[in-house]
Chains A and B, each alone.
Chain A
Amino acid sequence: MAIEQFVSVALALVLSPLLLGVINRVKAIFAGRTGQPLLQAYYDLAKLLRKGAVYSRTTTWVFRAGPTIGLGSTLAALMLVPMGGTPALVSFSGDLVLFAYLLGLARFFTVSAALDTGSAFEGMGASREVQFAAVAEPALLLGLAALAARTHSLSLSGIFAGSASSAAAHGPAIFQWWLQMGPIVLLVGGAFFIVFLAENARIPVDDPNTHLELTMIHEVMVLDHSGPDLAFIQYGAALKHWVIGALVVGSLLPVHPAHPVWTPVVAVAGMLALAVVVGVVESVMARLRLLSVPHLLMGALALSVVALVLVIY
């Protein structure tokens, strides 16, 4: 294990709440507001960690354990995700399946914790969460299958390193590479971006700002959590932005692992650019009707399948 791998994990741990700040700042600029400070997410976390907690009498240990297990699984998933050209801390053939299922584990316990409160609102959010995840999961795995088939590698790190080195092999003729690989990369990147929006509860799937409406998904599931538990959830959500974002950025921005300084810089710049794009999307789009969300995710699945068609031919 090289030092770069630890550096990239540390960067993820430190910088992930910044993504939320960037998204919110972009939205504020679009709306002509000053907006909250860039570091607001950090302040929130610090505040929540210092608070006590309130628990519903209905709840059991499942409710208390939910946020912890959720954060733990997201951290474990982080270990498997390569950042730009830097390979992940742990990589092995088939780790992409483990990655998807670790996110599934986090979801299962978040949903269980929501159902533990016995509140109709939280049940509603949980129900929608599992519905959208069921469609998003095939899109994610088939997109990964497309990349895996192209690079002949079954690990996330291998996939991204493979596409990065094939891009680098073209050297100055990078245009040629884009002409050949562009369609696949763009299709898979598009599919991952939709999965990113859905999994992280962003517009147009979910509105992170509507706590009290019947339209929300993720925010309503965590209504009853407070104190350190809520801090865990919010930090876990920020990390989830980072890990799925790393897939989007990694597939769209193949950077060859050449430089100990520039590679992480490019990767972080990519993540921030992704945050800006998300902010723009949130500013210019309305939230979809709930009934059309599976439809959007079906679209992501279609993108993955078309990419696969290109790869296997």
Chain B
Amino acid sequence: MNAWTDVIVVLVALTNLGLLGSSRLSVCIRVVAVQGIFFGLAAVLLRAEPITVDLAVVAAASAIVKGIVFPVLLLRTARNVNIRREVEPFVGFSTSLFVGLVLLAFALWIGAQMPVEANPTGSLVIPLALFTVMVGLFTIASRRKAVTQVLGYLTMENGIFAFGVTVVGGIPVLVELGVLMDVFVAVFVMCIATWHISREFDHVDVDQLDALKG
């Protein structure tokens, strides 16, 4: 634990709120990318125990995939299907921001309720990870565009990653890399699917997909 914790925590919290408050897709994608890099950094910096090689590998891989590979993929998809904004989400952007603040308070409360063993450092990282997971879920629930939903999914994964690295500590490298691989495939498939949906239907609003059921 050191003073950098606060800096990273603030920046991650801001990226979450930025994701909720921004309507421009390119901004959202970059925000999530930055968040991925921060979480990679956090995994190395925020741990009480000394850094192992395994951990460094996982953190680096995660930061690279989430901070560079995914954003490039997503930005290209967004450009291909020619959408630049999330228009008319189910929950407006100001309201989303407000919900985000409420979720933040909720996460803090949960963090405070946790048994001490689960959060030995008593730091903000646990509430922050919870907050990130909740923001991811909320994004998936409240947005229409497939690309934004992928972003929500990624955010959620970021939160789980942070949770895993700081709390459980000993996630085997293989498992973590496997999860990363899963996410990678998921994003990859989503990008392709989005592109196909857009070509078939001229839009990528997922809420209209329910018209497909017979």
Contact = CB atoms under 8 A, between A and B. Distances in A.
Given A182-B7, A183-B6, A183-B7, A309 B124 contact: yes
Contact of B94 (A183, A295, A309, A313): A295
Contacts of B17: 299, 302, 306
B93 A295 contact: yes
B98 interface: yes
A187 B10 contact: yes
A124 interface: no
A180 B101 CA distance: 23
Given A182-B7, A183-B7, A298 B97 contact: yes
Contacts of A313: 108, 123-124
B100 interface: yes
Contacts of B94: 294-295, 298
Contacts, number: 51
B98 A298 contact: yes
Interface of B: 3-4, 6-7, 9-10, 13-14, 17, 21, 93-94, 97-98, 100-101, 104-105, 108, 123-124
Question: Majority SS of interface residues in chain B?
Answer: helix
Interface of A: 176, 179-180, 182-183, 187, 294-295, 298-299, 301-303, 305-306, 309-310, 313
A179 B4 CA distance: 7
B21 A298 contact: yes
Nearest to A180: B3
B3 A179 contact: yes
Contact of B104 (A179, A303, A309): A309
A306 B10 CA distance: 7
Contacts of A176: 3
A302 B98 CA distance: 8
7 contacts: A179-B3, A183-B6, A295-B21, A298-B21, A298-B94, A301-B101, A302-B14
B213 to A, nearest CB: 35
A298 B14 CA distance: 13
A309 B112 CA distance: 12
A180 B108 CA distance: 20
A171 B79 CA distance: 52
Contacts of B124: 309-310, 313
Question: Majority SS of interface residues in chain A?
Answer: helix
A301 B105 CA distance: 14
Contact of B10 (A179, A180, A183, A295): A183
Contacts of A302: 14, 17, 21, 97, 100-101
B165 to A, nearest CB: 20
A180, A298, A305, A310 pick with most chain B CB within 10 angstroms:
A298
Contacts of B3: 176, 179-180
A187, A306, A309 pick with most chain B CB within 10 angstroms:
A309
Nearest to A313: B124
A176 B17 CA distance: 28
Contacts of A183: 6-7, 10
Contact of A299 (B97, B105, B123): B97
Contacts of A187: 10
Contacts of B13: 306, 309
6 shortest interchain CB distances as A-B pairs: A179-B3, A298-B97, A183-B10, A302-B17, A298-B94, A306-B13
Nearest to A187: B10
Nearest to B4: A179
A160 B98 CA distance: 29
B52 to A, nearest CB: 26
B135 to A, nearest CB: 12
Contacts of A309: 13, 104, 108, 124
Contacts of A310: 6, 9-10, 124
A284 B108 CA distance: 38
Nearest to A178: B3
A181 to B, nearest CB: 9
Contacts of B9: 310
A311 to B, nearest CB: 10
A295 B6 contact: no
A294 B9 CA distance: 25
A299 B104 contact: no
Contacts of B98: 298
B20 to A, nearest CB: 9
A310 B15 CA distance: 16
